[in-house]
Structure 1
Amino acid sequence: MTSRLASTGAWLRARAENLLAAMLAVMFSVFILQILFRYVLNLPIGWTNEVSVIMWLWMVLFGTAFVIRDHEEIRFDILYSAVNSRWRRVLVLTTSVSLVVLFTISLPAVIDYVTFMKVQKTAYLKIRFDWLYSIYAIFAVATIIRQFWLGCQAIWGKDSTAIDPTKAGSGV
């Protein structure tokens, strides 16, 4: 059962990466199209800017919610590497509890605001803002779940690997 769940999770993560790559391709394509129309054809178009902004918003929040791994997230590596394993777990637990509490407290207001935004639409494509901003509510729920899991792991004694700031990379 565990291996089947792990393989399903890996497949879903790969599809999330594919979706993120597609968003990047769309954003890049409309950016090039915008340059072509504005500077070559001298015919500025506004919808390309709108699509670029939408793709950027969704890429950042969707990617953070579903693609970025825990060890790829921004942390206070200097502080984490300066303490032993026990204190590192305390720091992880403190951060996790704080984020779970803050995101949980803000979640009803976030959902209320996103649903309220159905009254407005984007200027060029006439996409309802509640559809565009729904990714933030999804991001908030995913963050609550992820941080809750990290906090549980810290309580159970699972320590993240020792952090070496001199070997920081791009997550690859």
Structure 2
Amino acid sequence: MHPRLIAVAHWLRHRAENVAVALLAVMFGTFILQIVFRYVLNDPLGWSEELIITTWLWTVLWGAAFTVKEAEEIRFDIIYSQISERMRRVFTVITGLALVLMYAISLPAAYSYVSFMKVEHSAYLRVPLNWMYSVFIIFAVACIVRYLWLMWRAFRGDASPTTNPAELGD
């Protein structure tokens, strides 16, 4: 791959990590604030739970879409580690095809539902629910692109990700 493209990809990954860190910081800060208001001041905040749940949802889906590396994905290592490199590529193509098809088939309905949710607002923050749940659309599209890329690499004959935890690095 072209060095400039690699540098851009690394920069984008770091920005995605920055977003995930900011989401975690907001979630943690809100959690601490809620504890102080509930147990010290005896005046619970209604909006804090809503914000924590939303930031948790965004953190999980954003992280899965943009910050988790392929080698860090969960897989059946007992089987995957024992098969040949060629069979690993076959498994990558089969699972990639299945996931791309599932996400692609579900995407129009998910988009329709998220778009429809603009008529509803959250109870405390009064944020349109389509904004809160739009991260699923981002996640689904990112997963489709990711698995198309992995299938392309498997077809080209690139090595499969390492599954031995001792060999995983930064």
How would you bin the TM-score normalised by the shorter chain? over 0.9
- Equivalences for 1:131-150 in 2 at 5 Å? 131-150=131-150
- SS of aligned partner of 2:81: helix
Q: Is residue 109 of structure 1 aligned with residue 115 of structure 2?
A: no
1:13-162 superposed matches below 5 A: 13-162=13-162
- Please tell me the residue identity of whatever aligns with 1:29: G
Distance 2:162 2:53 in 1: 37
Structure 1 runs of 4+ with >4 Å offset: none
1:109 & 1:161 partners in 2: Cα distance? Answer: 32
Q: Number of matched residues?
A: 170
Letter in 1 for 2:118: K
**Secondary structure of 1:104's aligned partner:** helix
For residue 112 of structure 2, what is the amino acid of its counterpart?
D
By how many angstroms is 1:110 displaced? 0.7
- Give the CA deviation at 1:159: 2.2
Distance 2:79 2:21 in 1: 33
Q: Is the 8 A contact 2:93 2:151 kept in 1?
A: yes
CA distance change for structure 1 residues 63 and 162 in 2, over 3 Å: closer, same or farther?
closer
Deviations along 1:70-117, whole A, 9 cap, x unmatched?
111111111101111111111111100000111111110011010011
CA shift digits 1:119-161 (9 cap, x unpaired)? 1110100000101111100100000000011111111111214
Tell me the secondary structure at the aligned position of residue 19 of structure 1: helix
**What is the CA–CA distance in structure 1 between the aligned matches of 2:54 and 2:167, rounded to whole Å?**
30
Gaps of 5+ in 1: none
5+ long unaligned stretches in structure 2: none
User: Which deviations, in whole Å up to 9, do the C-alpha atoms of 1:5-45 show, x marking residues without a partner?
Assistant: 22112111111111111111110000000000001111111
| Partner Cα distance (2:126, 2:8) in 1 | 36
Aligned Cα root-mean-square deviation (Å): 1.6
With normalisation by structure 1, the TM-score equals: 0.93
1:149 is aligned with what amino acid? W
Amino acid at match of 2:127: I
**Alpha-carbon distance in structure 2 between the residues aligned to 1:46 and 1:92:** 45
Distance 1:36 1:107, change over 3 A: same
Cα distance in 2 between the residues matched to 1:44 and 1:50: 13
Letter aligned with residue 49 of structure 1: E
Residues 44, 131 of structure 1: alpha-carbon distance in 2 compared, 3 angstrom cutoff: same
